[in-house]
Chain A
């Protein structure tokens, strides 16, 4: 077990109904896991809890069996989080930005700088290393986010809707990078775009209304598709069936 939300309750305001109530979710130990669901399903909240940027009202976040609250520093060192909107900087180049994040995660300066160069190379952005992040495209910025995770040897990578707003080419490039990275490090990626499932996800979790509707391998997810669904539409069909949108279940 790597990362676990254990009976977590969380809401953004005390006087509003919690987004998650006694919610339990375990991030698979390897491969790419897609956290799927419509807007407002609780995906971003789940990601924020796992990233440690918000604290649960009740319940625990466990990393390798240790409660996050008692091992906060260690936890933060090993978890990389790419938020929905990657903040840009007019002051820092892509390499400096990645090095800055690695330094924030506890690496010393020279190692952070060295790893930043190597990580950008790994995500295919070596030529953009000297450009300011504010001048990078959305797709390049997401890859910079991945490079940040690689630069500090993250044990788990959390990506919050990283493909939102990317054009088809940028998506393809991003998926290629993701496939390579998830072969070595477990990646949890939230999305509301079924196309992100494509063929690279190892596990699919479907959420709605703060509850998990499905959690299992991609094939077991696709098994929910209607028998008459065209092969290219199986993911959409399975999604509709599980969400109760097609009236068949």
Chain B
């Protein structure tokens, strides 16, 4: 199993991404950026830490892209379940780590934990279809939210999720739903490494 973990980057890439995420979010607390609303009605002020939630989702796609399909597809051992466990476990671990840092800034950390689940769900869910290009989906969502997501000043549309405040219930439920859908997509649509 150690070789599978090394091949997927579970001993280097993923811990590195976790450390980078935690450190960078911790260092950019309360830094707010405002992009112009090119098409929507209002710009949405966004904490810089929201962008940093892209780090774990990119790392997960890189991890999945490290599969060796032509070798693993003729395998006896089942790797699909391990891959799903690794990916889902890592995404949850990142969110738990963010929540654990909430004494530093409760609002920002809870938001980071929620957005991490949203982005990981989007990236992982799109991976069976888009492959390495799945990393673009969370980025697209982020940019889309920035430029089109404002219903009025400081009031994003409900579907935006990412720029909602930490205590908005529907945003938390939405992020969790997207994450679950992403994991289900991985289970049902990812190319299997055995049958």
Contacts and interface: CB of A to CB of B under 8 A. Distances in A.
A79 interface: yes
Contacts of A79: 74
Contact of A106 (B2, B77, B79): B77
A104 B76 contact: yes
A85 B70 contact: yes
Contact of A53 (B1, B6, B73, B77): B73
A3 interface: no
A97 B70 CA distance: 13
B36 interface: no
A72 B75 CA distance: 10
B16 to A, nearest CB: 13
A221 interface: no
Contacts of A109: 1-2
Interface in A85-109: 85-87, 89, 91-92, 96-97, 99-101, 103-106, 109
A106 B76 contact: yes
B72 A104 contact: yes
Interface size class of B (residues with CB under 8 A): 20 to 34
Contacts of A91: 6-7, 9, 12, 66
Interface in A103-142: 103-106, 109
A99 B2 CA distance: 11
A96 B6 contact: yes
B195 A92 contact: no
Interface in B50-86: 66, 68-77, 79
28 contacts: A51-B74, A52-B74, A72-B194, A76-B75, A76-B194, A81-B74, A83-B71, A85-B70, A86-B70, A87-B68, A87-B71, A89-B68, A91-B6, A91-B9, A91-B12, A96-B6, A100-B3, A100-B4, A100-B7, A103-B1, A103-B4, A104-B76, A104-B77, A105-B75, A105-B77, A106-B76, A106-B77, A109-B2
Sorted from nearest, which 5 A-B pairs have the closest CB atoms?
A104-B75, A100-B3, A83-B70, A106-B76, A87-B68
